[in-house]
Every structure is written in C-alpha cells, then in structure tokens.
Amino acid sequence: MSYRWLALTSLGLILSLGAVPLWALGSVRDQEIAQCLPGEISSWGDGQDRPAVASPMVFVYDHTAAPPWFSEQVVLSAVKAAAVAWSQCGVSANAMARPLGAAIAKGTVLVQWSDKSSGGNFGLANLTQPSLSLGPAAFQMLQTRNPAHNARETLQMVISHEMGHLFGLVAHSRRCVDVTSYYSNGKGEQCLLRDASQFRSVPEYRSAFPTACDLQRCRLANGNPQ
C-alpha cells in the first residue's frame, strides 16, 4: 500500500505542475485516479456536500475491540495515510493514538471499533458527533469467507471512504474509481468508467485513497477551488 500511496502523491505533484502524457499514467484506472477531467465529477445525488466537520482535522484512534489480526500500528498508519491524502484538498489533518483512559478532546474525531456505531457495516461516519466507526463483525466475516484476501487493502479503503464524508463529501461519487463511490444505486444504474471493459481488471476497482476528483470535490466543498 505504501508504494501505491507514493505513486499517487507523485502523480498528484506532477499533475499540479502541468500536463502529463497519458502513457506516463499507466492503466486506464491509474489515469482515472490521477486525473479529473472537466465535467467528470458526478455523484449519486444522495446527499449535499458541505464543509469539513472541523478545520484543522485531528483524528484520535482507539484500538479497543479491533480484530486481533490488525495491530494498533497497522490501523493507525492507515488512518494517518488517509488523513494526509485528504489534507491535499486544503483542510489540514493529522492522526494520533488515544492515550489509555484519556477523554476525547472537543473538536477531535474519534476513530473506533464498534459494531453498534458502524451499523453492522465495514465503516460508518457520524457527522453530528464526529466519529469514524469500523465494524469488527464485518471484518471478521471478510476474514472467514476470504482468508487469502489482503484485509489491509479493505481497511485502508474503508477508512479513506468514511473520512471523505467527514471532510465534507456527503454525497457518494458515481465514478467507480473514486474512494467515495459505490458501484450501483440498487435501481439498475451502475457507476461510471472511462472504459467499462476495465471494471474487472483488478479485484477492487475503487481506489484506496482519494482520487483527483475526490480531492477536487473536497476543495469545492471547503471553498478551496484551484
């Protein structure tokens, strides 16, 4: 995951400096992650984007009730990586471990493991009482059904996705590759791709980190357009 993150941030830097030939961006999926073309931002219309729940953002991670195969360092690193990625939209963010027994300071966002608070999902963001809850039972089910799967990739994607809501992206993206996306609205409508034949080219088409379009939406929601 660290290599993918380094590649993504490097591409972001290159794109900010000027046009890049398509061959330098790799696959169609890589291009979709690194580029946000005019008119390409699209959502499912299931919410209204708004400013981040706080600025700057401070995420405090509590490892209590985490699945035993995820160490505290692994999860905290994923939270930090997502926070750094999202902060590119102009809202600074960092993450830290919750000291044992310490209260959650006002203005910080708790990242926790809780089946109740996650609603039985892999993850759920609460914008009213800012928190990001991960679901132990959902990750247990994934481990049971597909033990060969790299659960860290799913963990990173879930954290990045739910963190995007806290940064103000309330509506889900209709671009398949965006970390804030979902693939279908349950009414027969599917997410959007530049090349539909590429959808099954990788096990998970959705990016593990915010894409160029995710970041552009975040800038717009927070009044930081480029």
Per-residue pLDDT tens for 40-91?
A: 999 999 999 999 999 999 999 999 999 999 999 999 999 999 999 999 999 9
Res. 224 pLDDT band, cuts 50 70 90: confident
Between 24 and 13, the more confident residue is: 24
What local confidence, expressed as pLDDT, does residue 135 receive? 98
- The answer to whether residue 161 scores a pLDDT higher than 60 is yes
Residue 162 burial (CB count, 10 A) = 24
Per-residue pLDDT tens for 133-152?
A: 999 999 999 999 999 999 99
- The answer to whether residue 24 scores a pLDDT higher than 70 is no
CB 109 within 8 A of CB 83: no
Domains of the chain, start order: 2-221 (3.40.390)
What local confidence, expressed as pLDDT, does residue 21 receive? 56
Q: What is the mean pLDDT of the chain?
A: 90
131-134 sheet: strands from edge to edge? 93-97, 57-61, 109-113, 131-134, 123-126
What local confidence, expressed as pLDDT, does residue 5 receive? 34
CB 69 within 8 A of CB 147: no
Full-model pTM: 0.89
Res. 207 pLDDT band, cuts 50 70 90: very high
